[in-house]
Amino acid sequence: MNLQPPTLDTTLESLRTEVTGSVALPGEAGYELATPWNVAVPVNPRAVVAVENAQDIAATVRFAAKHNLRVAVQRTGHGAVSLGNDVLLVHTGKLTECVVDPVSRTAKIGAGLIWQNVIDAAAPHGLAPLTGSSPTVGVAGFLTGAGIGPMVRTYGLSSDHVRSFDIVTGSGELVRVTPDEHAELFWGLRGGKATLGIVTSIDIELMPITHFYGGAVYFDGADAPAVAHAWLDWCADLPEHSSTSIAFLQLPPLPQVPPPLAGRLTFAVRFASLTDEAEAAELISRIRSVATPLIDAVGTLPYAAIAAVHADPVDPMPTHESTALTTDLSHEAVDALLGAAGPGSQSPQTVVELRLLGGALAREPKHRSAFCHRDAAFTLFTIGVLAPPVADAVVPHAQALGRAMAPWTTGRALPNFAPSDDPEQIARTYDEDTAHWLSALANTHDPSGVLAVGQVMRQIR
């Protein structure tokens, strides 16, 4: 009798018996969880495991090691990279624990939460998490990528305020990670993305914030040269209690886009300040006076409205993103950026953003991390929608913009901007020592390379 070995898909039936959550193959209910926020990224895993708990993740990792598969993780797919059918995708959406301790000003948050969940849980206590520009992003991917939010100059990286992680390593072990327990993993998880394990829950510090003064002032694209140059001068002595960015916007004529901003080039100055209202208003008045705004949406806002600062899109879409870090910028640099993205440039990008860094970000925190670029002055970021009629122009233009800004860029990038599975691109995220130690730790805790997929720092041994 000629007995054929079971196919892998048949073998996956055994994984269903080992996990509490569901295992979905292509075409089955639950497989749609693989669809990322950036729908231009081909995410086609062998199966999607919608885990119920940390034990499900550990079982999935051990199964993958046994069957020569790899394991990736996703919540929202904002940082998605390509996945093929040699990968099991762990979807963490059911890990939704959220326990706020108002006395210690901390929260224990599950990896399945998005930031809006945490904002809503903390607000009744007069507290707030240090979220990113979009509260619809998953908490774990944001924090393992260090976390640059609208108040980064005041509080530093969001990951600087993590107290502990619970993770599953590539060996299938459940590990509690703190500054005192597995300190090397605590260092690497804050900035190393999924290199060192799959996060199941995180303990974070909350800030005593109920309101802030901020939002965005939107100008006609024709006013971008005057406003951008004024903004650069304004940034030179901006106090740490305030953070800011500018953005060239080309928003489509959709119902959710305010008519003054739709179907045209506009220019936004974003602002978020934790000083008193009078001082903050005086600060932003220097920008308000440069030109007549189309919309002035800056004022005192509840922290729950933090999304109003950047007004990031919520709905999934096909995008291309590029990013770079810069040294101090001159007015010549602003002119170069205006030439690439300003009036008359024919830029196809939906957003071209320049974000001021520095302040608290520039100082080393109590516990050092794998984040390497505290000396960067600004981060440059583009996002273009890969849809007609501009789809073919987006990537070449982003490359041309990068060349135009090359005299001021450092060759480095932030972990959470423009995700990639290209080893050369990933290496831009770290200096040589950090890349070496992240890879060495990964080889120790994931000797079979089960987690060696996606945006992870691995070097050939």
Range of the domain at 159: 98-208
Do 393 and 328 belong together in one domain?
A: yes
Say if CB 425 and CB 417 are below 8 A apart: no
Low-confidence ranges of the chain (pLDDT < 70): 1-7, 460-461
pLDDT tens digits along 270-298: 999 999 999 999 999 999 999 999 999 99
pLDDT at 387: 94
pLDDT at 11: 83
Query: Is residue 305 one of the residues assigned to a domain?
Result: yes
The structure tokens listed for 167 are: 């993770």
Question: Residue 204's domain is classified under what CATH number?
Answer: 3.30.465.10
Query: Is residue 51 one of the residues assigned to a domain?
Result: no
pLDDT at 5: 53
Do 393 and 259 belong together in one domain?
A: yes
Query: Is residue 121 one of the residues assigned to a domain?
Result: yes
Q: Tell me the residue type at 80.
A: A
Domain count along the chain: 2
Do 200 and 285 belong together in one domain?
A: no
Do 292 and 176 belong together in one domain?
A: no
Query: Is residue 92 one of the residues assigned to a domain?
Result: no
CA dist., res. 196 & res. 265, Å (int): 42
CA dist., res. 276 & res. 105, Å (int): 22
pLDDT tens digits along 215-267: 999 999 999 999 999 999 999 999 999 999 999 999 999 888 999 999 999 99
Which residue among 392, 408, 424 closes a domain? 408
Do 182 and 254 belong together in one domain?
A: no
Which residue among 173, 208, 243 closes a domain? 208
Do 248 and 388 belong together in one domain?
A: yes
Say whether 220 sits in a helix, a strand or coil. Answer: strand
Query: Is residue 298 one of the residues assigned to a domain?
Result: yes
Query: Is residue 12 one of the residues assigned to a domain?
Result: no
What's the whole-model pTM score? 0.95
Query: Is residue 32 one of the residues assigned to a domain?
Result: no
pLDDT at 417: 87
Which residue among 382, 408, 434 closes a domain? 408
Query: Is residue 337 one of the residues assigned to a domain?
Result: yes
- 10 burial class (0-12, 13-18, 19+ CB within 10 angstroms)? exposed
